[in-house]
Structure 1
Amino acid sequence: MLRMPGCLLKLTRVLQSHKPWALFILIVGFVSFAYIKLYWGIWEDPKSRGPTHGLSAEINCAHYVPSPLNIAAGPSPSTGNVFFVETSEQTSPSYLFSCSVESAARTHPAARVVVLMKGLAKGNASLPKHWAFSLLSCFPNVEIQPLDLTELFSGTPLAQWFLQPQHHQEPDFLPVLSDACRIVLMWKFGGIYLDTDFIVLRNLQNLTNA
């Protein structure tokens, strides 16, 4: 008959005599392990990850967008521009990014929903092969275009500010640049500017240059 080693026997007796502390240590250990796994999952290099599962790069519009947009029914009160801007070099839109643009396209069927992305190479006729671009291309009122910052700021009151190189070295330049793009887009074209984490639930026809 096998006998339990002495060290395990002593450990078992200690755990039985200190059940609350043993339970506390187990909980702390489990939470620490889960935190470490979550931390490395968040900060893992995206390039080292495998392909995103669930959606293929080629989207069947009839399946994922079953209700066609009623563009031909005539203009709605919300005709105009709805802008989204990505000022980083990111060219792989997240689920939230895609849902935000899709929600704007659905609630503003007669408006141009323009997505400007700095990471897209200017003059490249084809978008990167990504499920988000394939999905958003199902909406005829969505336009995904490269963001040329020099061209965007040209001829605006913020042109001189943008051309000053010292601003580009500031630690908070990216969020400031996004705010500046919002101002310039409204100044040049008018319409509505939305952040890429907004989900639009209703038509924003009552907003002008916002």
Structure 2
Amino acid sequence: MTLRLTFFPLRIFAKIRRKLILALFGLLVSGIILTYTFQRDVKKEITYFIWKQAQLQSNSTNVPRPLKDVLLTEPKPKPGRTIFFLETTRIVRPKPEMMNNMLQLTARQACAIESAALHNPTFEVFVLFAGATYRYHENSSQHQQPIIDAILSYENVKLRQLNLRRYVTGTPIEDWVKYGELFGSSFLINHISDLLRFITLYRFGGIYLDMDVVLLRSMEDVPLNYAGAESDSHVASGVMSMAPHGFGHQFAKYCLRDFQRHFDGDAWGNNGPGVITRVIQRVCRTKNITLMMEDEKRCLGFKVFDQNAFYAVPWEDWRHFFDPNLQKQTLARTKDSYLVHIWNDVSKQINRVGSRTAYGIYAQQHCPRVYAVAAEYF
């Protein structure tokens, strides 16, 4: 009897303990289920909120939107059938606020773009902005960019942005750029522009043009792989063409290798015209520009145009474009040119061209829609 009384409470305690354990386990499982359900519902709410905000923004024409990335967006540039312009002025100190990175083009830049689109309708014209660039929808109440509308009235004009780090990935100069020597340049904007034009031709082939030119006629039928002499000693990098495959692609690779090997951050022209000149000299096995122009076979098919093709008016004579007294002389001087180079670095101080100047006549004839909007303010 004593033995039974001794073990009875122990059995009762064992039963209670099992019930407590089961109850606690049930509470734990319920808690896990409730927590999971709560987190799932919260995630759904957050996802819906983000989606709703995106929808509201996408439906709001007053919200600035970034330009699409050239490497991530269709249609991409047609290899060998694209003319490229580069805008790099905001890549050095981009502002965190999108309002300070809004899409802008000067009348001269827009004129260059329109003249390319007008005279080369079967080519795409890609304008690449280095760094984040935003623009309002054309139906936005904030949209007041008649110059932009003028160039976008051409179906072959595309506006894109590029990310420098992404753009160099997969090119022969990728590691060097990421190492950072480029960013110690004393002329950073200019040297980034120099680099990007060679990377662009390496990636896609086609034609690169400076944004202070005016095309006077088509370049669609000019065989790829060419540049133009600026003087008796230098080939310029303001107009360059390289095929997307074969020798043209190899030539672009040579240019990137030379850019890296001879980079000088304290020399303004060393990394642009210096690169194309050095590479052509090696390919043609001569420093004599006249020999390069006379014998294409010597240069393995890479054509060096004479000065008249792209630089008939040298930079020292830039005022000739804006002097009414020199109008006829300047027009005669450029009558056989493919394009004229306005030398904006030195001529930007003049912002009214006038209809009686050579540049005013070029603009009226070769970028008529931009001229109609900007009038004489170029």
TM-score normalised by the chain length of structure 2:
0.32
Residue-by-residue CA offset, 1:76-108 (whole Å, 9 max, x unaligned): xxx700000111227321110000000000011
Distance (whole Å) between structure 2 residues aligned to residue 115 and residue 208 of structure 1? 20
Q: How does 1:94-109 map to 2 (within 5 A)?
A: 94-109=106-121
Uncovered stretches (5+) of structure 1, i.e. residues with no partner: 1-78
Residue number among 157, 170, 194 corresponding to 1:155 in the alignment: 170
Partner of 1:88: 89
Structure 1 distance, partners of 2:161, 2:136, is 10
1:11-160 counterparts in 2 under 5 A?
80-89=81-90, 91-121=103-133, 126=137, 129=143, 130-160=145-175
Distance in 2 between the 1:131 and 1:120 partners? 21
Which has the bigger relative contact order, CA under 8 A and spacing at least 6? 1
Moved segments of 4+, more than 3 Å: 119-122, 124-129
Structure 2 unmatched ranges of 5 or more: 1-79, 91-100, 226-240, 242-378
Q: 1:207: Cα distance to partner?
A: 4.4
Between structure 1 and structure 2, the one with the greater Rg is 2
Distance in 1 (CA, whole Å) between partners of 2:223 and 2:195 is 19
Q: 1:155 to 1:101 in 2, by over 3 A?
A: same
**Is the 1:88–1:119 Cα contact (8 Å) retained in structure 2?**
no
| CA distance in structure 2 between the partners assigned to 1:170 and 1:110 by the alignment | 38
The aligned residue for residue 222 of structure 2 is 206
Cα pair distance change 1:165/1:198, threshold 3 Å:
same
Q: Distance in 2 between matches of 1:118 and 1:186?
A: 16
1:87–1:199 distance in 2 versus 1, CA, 3 Å: same
Q: Quote the Cα distance in structure 2 between the aligned partners of 1:162 and 1:154.
A: 9
Cα offsets for 1:35-73 (capped at 9, x unmatched): xxxxxxxxxxxxxxxxxxxxxxxxxxxxxxxxxxxxxxx
Residue in 2 aligned with 1:41? none
Change (3 A) 1:172 1:102: same
Counterparts of 1:137 and 1:153, CA distance in 2: 28
CA distance in 1, matches of 2:136, 2:107: 24
Looking at structure 2, the residues matched to 135 and 119 of structure 1 have their Cα atoms a distance apart, in angstroms, of 23
Which whole-Å CA distance do the structure 2 matches of 1:94 and 1:192 have between them? 21
Secondary structure of the 1:103 match is helix
* RMSD, aligned α-carbons: 2.3
Q: Identity over the aligned pairs, expressed in percent? A: 27
Does the CA-based 8 Å contact 1:114-1:142 persist in structure 2?
yes
Which deviations, in whole Å up to 9, do the C-alpha atoms of 1:1-57 show, x marking residues without a partner? xxxxxxxxxxxxxxxxxxxxxxxxxxxxxxxxxxxxxxxxxxxxxxxxxxxxxxxxx
Residues 107 and 202 of structure 1 are in contact (CA less than 8 Å); yes or no, is this contact kept in structure 2?
Answer: yes
Amino acid in the other structure paired with 1:111:
F
Name the amino acid aligned to 2:119: T
Deviation at 1:147, TM superposition (A): 2.0
Q: Is the 8 A contact 2:131 2:164 kept in 1?
A: no
C-alpha separation between the residues in 2 aligned to 1:207 and 1:200? 17
Q: Count the aligned residue pairs.
A: 131
1:199 is paired with a residue whose SS is: strand
From the superposition, tell whether residues 132 and 161 of structure 1 become closer, same or farther in structure 2 (CA, over 3 Å): farther
Alignment partner of 1:174 out of 179, 189, 194? 189
Counterpart of 2:205 in structure 1 is 190
Q: How far apart are the structure 1 equivalents of 2:153 and 2:169?
A: 32
Task: Determine helix, strand or coil for the equivalent of 1:178.
Answer: helix
CA contact (8 A) 2:108 2:211 kept: yes
Distance 1:206 1:161 in 2: 34
Distance 1:202 1:151, change over 3 A: same
What letter is aligned with 2:87?
A: E
Q: Which amino acid aligns with 2:167?
A: L
Instruction: Tell me, in whole angstroms, the C-alpha distance in 1 between the residues paired with 2:156 and 2:204.
Output: 17
